[in-house]
Each structure stands twice: as structure tokens, then as C-alpha cells.
Amino acid sequence: MLHLAIILFLVVVAPVWIIAHYSTSWRRHRGLSTQDEAMLRELHDSAEKISDRLGTIERILDHESPDWREPEHEDL
């Protein structure tokens, strides 16, 4: 009788238990943590600042040296 209970546990209960455990764990870790969200916000803000600064530099170069965007052709 004990062998039948162990076999029943291993065949039915243990797999359901393992699947339920890992599916719950997966759902809990599926989203971003608050630290990840904060880091993404900081990276986004930094990227926007860099983009603004690059635009400013391009406007200054357009004013100071209008042909800076044209590629230089070197004679080979």
C-alpha cells in the first residue's frame, strides 16, 4: 500500500506541483522590477539629453561651417 501511495505521488502529484510552482514563479518574474523601470527611465532621459546636445552641435556647425556635412573626396 505504501508503494502505491509513493508511485501515485510521483506520477500525479509531483508533476502538477512542479508545474504549478514554476508557472507561479514565471508569472511573478515576468514583468520589470521597479529598479529596472527606474534604470530605463534614466537611460531614456540620458538619450534625450544627448540627442538635444547633438542637435545643438549640428546647428552650430551648420552656422559656422555650412559644408561640414559634405563628404571629403580624397584623390587616390
Tell me the C-alpha distance between 38 and 63, whole Å: 38
Q: Cell 504549478 sits at which residue? A: 20
State pTM to two decimals.
Answer: 0.53
Q: Cell 580624397 sits at which residue? A: 74
Q: Is the pLDDT of residue 76 over 60?
A: no
- pLDDT number for residue 75: 61
From 4-13, 23-32, 59-68, the region with the lowest mean pLDDT: 23-32
- The percentage of the chain sitting over the pLDDT mark of 70, rounded to a whole number, equals 95
Alpha helices in the chain (DSSP H): 2-8, 14-29, 34-64
- Segment 30-43 shows an average pLDDT of 89
Q: Is the separation of the CB atoms in 61 and 68 below 8 Å? A: yes
